[in-house]
Chain A
Amino acid sequence: MKILMSVIFLGLAAAAAAQERAHLDVQTTAQKEELVVNDAGESETRLVPAEILVPGESVFYTITFTNVSDQPADNVVITNKIAENLMYVDGSAFGAGMDILFSVDGGVTFAAAGELTVTEDGEVRSAEAGDFTHVRWVMRNDLDAGARGIARFAAVLE
Chain B
Amino acid sequence: MGTAVGTIIENTAVVSFDLAGTPLTLQSNTTTIAVAERIDVTVTLQSPQTLVAPNDTGRALLLTVTNTGNGTETFTLLMDSVIGGDNFDPTPAVPDIYFDTDASGDFSAGDQAYAPGVNDPNLNADESISVFIVNDIPGTVLNGQTGRSELTATSATGTGAPGTVYANQGDGGVNAVIGVTGGEAADTGEYLVSDVLVNVVKAQLVSDSFGGNEPVPGATLTYTITVDVASSGTAAASVVRDTIPALTTYVPNSITLNGAAISDLTDGDAGEFDTTGTPTVVVRLGDLTQADPVQTIVFQVLID
Interface residues of A (CB under 8 A from B): 15, 18-19, 21-24, 26-30, 35, 50-56, 59, 61, 63, 65, 69, 71, 73-81, 83, 85-86, 143, 151, 157-158
Which residues B16-53 have CB closer than 8 A to chain A?
16-20, 23-24, 26-31, 33-38
- Bound Cα distance A81, B11 (Å): 7
Question: Which of A22, A30, A56, A65 meets B33, CB within 8 Å?
Answer: A30
Chain A residues with CB below 8 A from B17, complex form: 24, 73-77, 143
Q: Counting CB contacts under 8 A, is B140 at the interface?
A: no
- B38–A52 touching, CB < 8 Å: no
- Bound Cα distance A28, B10 (Å): 11
- A52–B34 touching, CB < 8 Å: yes
- A55–B174 touching, CB < 8 Å: no
> Given that A73-B19, A77-B16 are known contacts, is A28 also in contact with B33, CB under 8 Å in the complex?
no
Chain B residues with CB below 8 A from A54, complex form: 2, 35-38, 70, 177, 179
- B16–A75 touching, CB < 8 Å: yes
- A22–B24 touching, CB < 8 Å: yes
Pair count A-B, CB < 8 A: 128
Which residue of B is nearest A53, CB measured?
Answer: B33
Given A26-B28, A53-B36, A81-B11, list of 18 further CB < 8 A pairs? A22-B19, A22-B24, A24-B19, A26-B26, A28-B29, A30-B33, A53-B35, A54-B70, A55-B35, A55-B38, A74-B18, A75-B18, A80-B11, A80-B12, A83-B9, A85-B3, A157-B9, A157-B35
Q: Counting CB contacts under 8 A, is B175 at the interface?
A: yes
- Bound Cα distance A52, B107 (Å): 43
- A27–B38 touching, CB < 8 Å: no
23 contacts between A and B (CB under 8 A): A18-B26, A19-B26, A21-B24, A23-B24, A28-B28, A35-B163, A50-B31, A52-B175, A53-B36, A54-B37, A55-B2, A55-B3, A55-B38, A65-B28, A73-B18, A77-B17, A79-B16, A83-B9, A83-B10, A85-B9, A85-B35, A151-B13, A157-B35
Within the complex, the shortest CB–CB distance from B21 to chain A, in Å, comes to 9
Question: What 8 A-B pairs come out closest when comparing CB atoms?
Answer: A55-B2, A54-B38, A30-B31, A26-B28, A28-B28, A52-B36, A73-B17, A85-B3
Chain B residues with CB below 8 A from A80, complex form: 11-14
- Bound Cα distance A18, B28 (Å): 10
Which residue of A is nearest B174, CB measured?
Answer: A52
Which residue of A is nearest B21, CB measured?
Answer: A74
- A28–B31 touching, CB < 8 Å: yes
- Bound Cα distance A29, B12 (Å): 10
Which residue of B is nearest A149, CB measured?
Answer: B15
- A27–B29 touching, CB < 8 Å: yes
Contact residues of A: prevailing secondary structure = strand
- Bound Cα distance A30, B15 (Å): 17
Q: Counting CB contacts under 8 A, is B104 at the interface?
A: no
Residue total for B at the interface (Cβ-Cβ under 8 A): 37
- Bound Cα distance A123, B33 (Å): 36
Q: Which of A19, A35, A77, A157 has the most C-beta atoms of chain B within 10 angstroms of its own C-beta? A: A157
Which residue of B is nearest A73, CB measured?
Answer: B17
Binary A-proximity of B125-137 (CB < 8 A = 1, otherwise 0): 0000000000000
Q: Counting CB contacts under 8 A, is B7 at the interface?
A: yes
Chain B residues with CB below 8 A from A78, complex form: 13-15
> Given that A27-B29, A52-B33, A75-B18 are known contacts, is A85 also in contact with B177, CB under 8 Å in the complex?
no
- Bound Cα distance A101, B3 (Å): 27
Q: Counting CB contacts under 8 A, is B285 at the interface?
A: no
Within the complex, the shortest CB–CB distance from A68 to chain B, in Å, comes to 11
> Given that A73-B17, A75-B16 are known contacts, is A29 also in contact with B31, CB under 8 Å in the complex?
yes
Q: Counting CB contacts under 8 A, is B265 at the interface?
A: no
Which residue of A is nearest B9, CB measured?
Answer: A83
- Bound Cα distance A156, B76 (Å): 31
- Bound Cα distance A18, B12 (Å): 15
Chain B residues with CB below 8 A from A158, complex form: 2-3
Chain A residues with CB below 8 A from B291, complex form: none
- A26–B13 touching, CB < 8 Å: yes
Which residues B184-222 have CB closer than 8 A to chain A?
none
